[in-house]
Chain A
Amino acid sequence: MEIITDNNTEEKRFKYFGAGLEFAIIYFKNILLTIITIGLYYPWAKVELLKYHYQSTALDNSRFTFHATGKEVFKGFIKIYAILIALYAFLIFASQSQDLKLITTATILFYVFLLLLIPLAIHGSVRYRASRSSWKGIHFKYLGDRKELFLLYLKGLFFTIITFGIYGAWLQVDLRKYVLSNLRFGDLSFKFKGSGGELFWITLKFILLIYITLGIYGFWYYKNIIKFYVDNLEISQDGKPVSFKCNIKTADIVALLVINFFLLIFTLGLATPWVTVRTFKFILRFIIIEEGLDTERIQQVSYDDYDDATGDDFMDFLDFDVL
């Protein structure tokens, strides 16, 4: 074990300790329980897999912890399913009427409602995940305002629609900026420095080059996107910002994705847990917190005991992950 001094401000690296077979047992155990219970066990399964990844991730010799419970996530699921079933029932009811006008209105309402749920879900999800995540006994906390985020999203959605999707990049970055600027870890705060223009350029290059290069440009795109999200992240202690850095190269991405692809294909998907562990190990290896952050001096501020997982479950339904 390293010597613990008063000043602990050197460069920090993440390390992932997960192991393929160990995770495979947890992964398949949860699949089995989910099948036996016809899906009812899913919330508990989701929580256990996340707990595993958290507990396997170390920074500065200390592991992360995920404090969520299956029960909280289950309650959220019930709410989400109640909403969705009501929405579908409405849609089915309308479609049986044979009235084209009514069907069109119902379909539009259905999608508008789903779209409007997204910012509320982001808010709930981030707040829940933050409240349930800790490191060195210090909890994350999300201070964002639901209404502010909703209006920000509404504005972005409007511009995205009238610009035929172009503004989408700015919307995405604005949401990230808002969420991160309201995220705290004890007395530390976060900031996202990236701009919508940068993300738009990355996406545009992808669209222009992906077909010409027969998909090969995808590797560069992945590298750019990872670097965009990590390199633009900043954490502040006592008003002094410290940057995150990701030194990943395109060749690393090629090695990661090509081998993952073959692992999945030749095992008919059985290698999924190994691929997951491999990906975490790989990506976290390249992420650095630059010099200047004293991880011995972070103060717990206050704790937000937010146990409503509904937003997080909705994001799960849409297949989005806030992390």
Chain B
Amino acid sequence: MSYTILYFDGTSSKMHKALLQITALKWAITFTEDDGSSKIISWDTANIKKTNVYTEKFVSFSYGKSYPFQRIESTDTALIEHVNAAKNIDLHKLDVLLHTNKRSSFLYLLTAILGIAIGMYFYVIPTISTHFISNLNHKSVEGFGNFVFKVLSTDLEIDAEKTKKLQYFVDAIQIENTFPLEVYVAKSEDINAFALSGGKIVVYDALLEKIENESQLLALIGHEISHIENRHVLKNVTRNLSGALFISVLFGDISGINTVLAENAHLFSQLSFTRSLEKEADIYGLKIMKDNKVNLCGMSELFEILKEETKFDVPTYLSNHPMLKDRIEYTQKIAKEQGTISENTLLKEKWDALKTTFTNIDLKNE
């Protein structure tokens, strides 16, 4: 059987209409020269190269160990069928298979991509990044915290007196901590406190002023210690970055607008992760309170204070913290299980000392 092809000899662009005959070892190309004479070119199958990409209704091959390379092209369906079915021709068999039933292939591919992407995003990446952070050595965790603190500290106005008193309070907490705890009281009207990886905690004086007793303060500090001990900051950052990187790689080549959509979806999922960390910190904070024998109601009282100061309680799905209403509910539930407690005199003493720094100012102001 012979197939119609176009032949190029590699030295000129002249196109020869030719016939191709295929046998096991040789491909014979026959065409008529301008002078009317017939010419036969023989290709050794071992040196034939296919272009290695599937385009329907078209095949092309090149030939030759070295330059110049000869070439044939064909749109002859009989040749294409022969090539697709042949076992001895170096072809992407997978491509031929995928293109036999295009629609279902398309759906299979999409399902596979979606499945793998979802698995990577929700399982593989979070597991790897959490595992990585949990096993990171102490020095690196502290190094990261110190670096962030150095950057932040230029904007923080530290109150030395309050810082000293708060540090006494923290030192009096009974806890098996792996990171050395270092607290700072910063002047700010915001009702806030935050922890940095490696042991640093910053509390704003406006929040400290609202606090009424040692159990509320321990609730706050306990919550922040939990962030530190569980390496929440780094877990959060790593997960956020690796997830965002994955999303941008996946959608990066598709289109700008969809990248934005995907990134927003990522933000929502990240907020939900952050909330889960906050809840974990609340529960762990309660454990610290319990170990130090203070009233567990301090935690829900702290949230009541925050609630009063917060004009809008943002719906849970939009916030990086659980809704205060929910936090009050679940911490109260745990507090109810606490039996009778004796007063932790050491912490109360330290708390009273700290509180005087505020009353002194008040007196001065008057």
Query: How distant is B234 from chain A, measured CB to nearest CB, in Å?
Result: 17
Interface stretch, picked from A16-24, A104-112, A189-197, A209-217, is: A16-24
Assess the B251–A137 pair: CB atoms within 8 A.
Answer: no
Residues of A within 8 A of B254 (CB): 264, 269, 272
Binary flags per residue of B64-99, CB closer than 8 Å to A gives 1, else 0: 000111110100000000000000000000110011
Residue in A96, A297, A303 whose CB lies within 8 Å of B12 = A297
Given contacts A51-B52, A55-B55, A63-B73, contact A21 B102 (CB under 8 A): yes
A100 at the interface (CB under 8 A from B): no
Q: Which single residue of chain A is at the shortest CB-CB distance from B257?
A: A265
Binary flags per residue of B226-261, CB closer than 8 Å to A gives 1, else 0: 000000000000000000000001110111011001
B150 at the interface (CB under 8 A from A): yes
Assess the B55–A136 pair: CB atoms within 8 A.
Answer: no
Interface stretch, picked from B107-115, B195-203, B267-275, B324-332, is: B107-115
Assess the B9–A264 pair: CB atoms within 8 A.
Answer: no
Q: In whole angstroms, what is the CA distance A296 to B17 when docked?
A: 13
Given contacts A1-B17, A35-B120, A55-B55, contact A300 B12 (CB under 8 A): yes
The DSSP consensus for interface residues of chain B is: mixed
Assess the A35–B116 pair: CB atoms within 8 A.
Answer: yes
Query: How distant is A70 from chain B, measured CB to nearest CB, in Å?
Result: 10
Number of A-B contacts (CB under 8 A): 134
Residues of B within 8 A of A305 (CB): 67
Residues of B within 8 A of A201 (CB): none
A157 at the interface (CB under 8 A from B): no
A125 at the interface (CB under 8 A from B): no
B35 at the interface (CB under 8 A from A): no
Binary flags per residue of A59-90, CB closer than 8 Å to B gives 1, else 0: 00111011100000000000000000000000
Q: Which single residue of chain A is at the shortest CB-CB distance from B12?
A: A299
Residue in B60, B67, B117, B147 whose CB lies within 8 Å of A35 = B117
Residues of A within 8 A of B52 (CB): 48, 51
Residue in B9, B53, B258 whose CB lies within 8 Å of A52 = B53
Assess the B55–A17 pair: CB atoms within 8 A.
Answer: yes
Residue in B6, B9, B12, B34 whose CB lies within 8 Å of A6 = B34
Q: In whole angstroms, what is the CA distance A308 to B54 when docked?
A: 25
Assess the B55–A137 pair: CB atoms within 8 A.
Answer: no
Assess the A21–B106 pair: CB atoms within 8 A.
Answer: yes
Query: How distant is B7 from chain A, measured CB to nearest CB, in Å?
Result: 9
Q: In whole angstroms, what is the CA distance A32 to B120 when docked?
A: 13
Q: In whole angstroms, what is the CA distance A52 to B60 when docked?
A: 12
Binary flags per residue of B151-190, CB closer than 8 Å to A gives 1, else 0: 0000000000000000000000000000000000000000
Assess the B54–A297 pair: CB atoms within 8 A.
Answer: no
B315 at the interface (CB under 8 A from A): no
Given contacts A1-B17, A96-B147, A298-B13, contact A303 B68 (CB under 8 A): yes
Binary flags per residue of B1-23, CB closer than 8 Å to A gives 1, else 0: 00000101111111101000000
Assess the A35–B250 pair: CB atoms within 8 A.
Answer: yes
Residue in A4, A135, A295 whose CB lies within 8 Å of B17 = A4
Given contacts A25-B109, A63-B58, contact A296 B14 (CB under 8 A): yes
A168 at the interface (CB under 8 A from B): no
Q: In whole angstroms, what is the CA distance A300 to B10 when docked?
A: 7
Q: Which single residue of chain B is at the shortest CB-CB distance from A6?
A: B34
Looking at B11, B68, B109, B251, the one whose CB has the most chain A CB atoms below 10 A away is B109
A165 at the interface (CB under 8 A from B): no
Residues of A within 8 A of B253 (CB): 272
Residues of B within 8 A of A17 (CB): 55, 57-58
Q: Which single residue of chain B is at the shortest CB-CB distance from A24?
A: B106
Assess the A269–B255 pair: CB atoms within 8 A.
Answer: yes
B103 at the interface (CB under 8 A from A): yes
Complex interface residues of chain B between 13 and 40 (CB less than 8 A to chain A): 13-15, 17, 34
Assess the B113–A31 pair: CB atoms within 8 A.
Answer: yes
Assess the B13–A295 pair: CB atoms within 8 A.
Answer: yes
B51 at the interface (CB under 8 A from A): yes
Query: How distant is A253 from chain B, measured CB to nearest CB, in Å?
Result: 18
Assess the A264–B109 pair: CB atoms within 8 A.
Answer: no
Residues of A within 8 A of B56 (CB): 19, 22
Query: How distant is B126 from chain A, measured CB to nearest CB, in Å?
Result: 16
Residues of B within 8 A of A272 (CB): 253-255
Assess the B99–A264 pair: CB atoms within 8 A.
Answer: no
Residues of A within 8 A of B116 (CB): 32, 35-36
Assess the B13–A138 pair: CB atoms within 8 A.
Answer: yes
Assess the B15–A62 pair: CB atoms within 8 A.
Answer: yes
Residues of B within 8 A of A270 (CB): 110
Query: How distant is B273 from chain A, measured CB to nearest CB, in Å?
Result: 22
Q: In whole angstroms, what is the CA distance A104 to B274 when docked?
A: 34
Q: In whole angstroms, what is the CA distance A18 to B58 when docked?
A: 11
Q: In whole angstroms, what is the CA distance A303 to B51 when docked?
A: 18
B62 at the interface (CB under 8 A from A): yes
Query: How distant is A279 from chain B, measured CB to nearest CB, in Å?
Result: 13
Q: Which 9 A-B pairs have the closest CB atoms?
A: A137-B8, A269-B254, A298-B13, A51-B53, A137-B71, A28-B109, A136-B13, A269-B258, A303-B67
Other A-B contacts than A25-B105, A48-B52, 17 sampled, CB-CB below 8 A, are A17-B55, A22-B99, A28-B109, A29-B94, A32-B113, A32-B116, A36-B116, A62-B8, A135-B13, A137-B62, A137-B70, A268-B258, A268-B261, A269-B251, A269-B255, A269-B258, A302-B67
10 CB contacts below 8 A, A to B, read: A21-B102, A29-B98, A32-B116, A36-B116, A48-B52, A66-B51, A137-B13, A137-B71, A296-B12, A299-B12
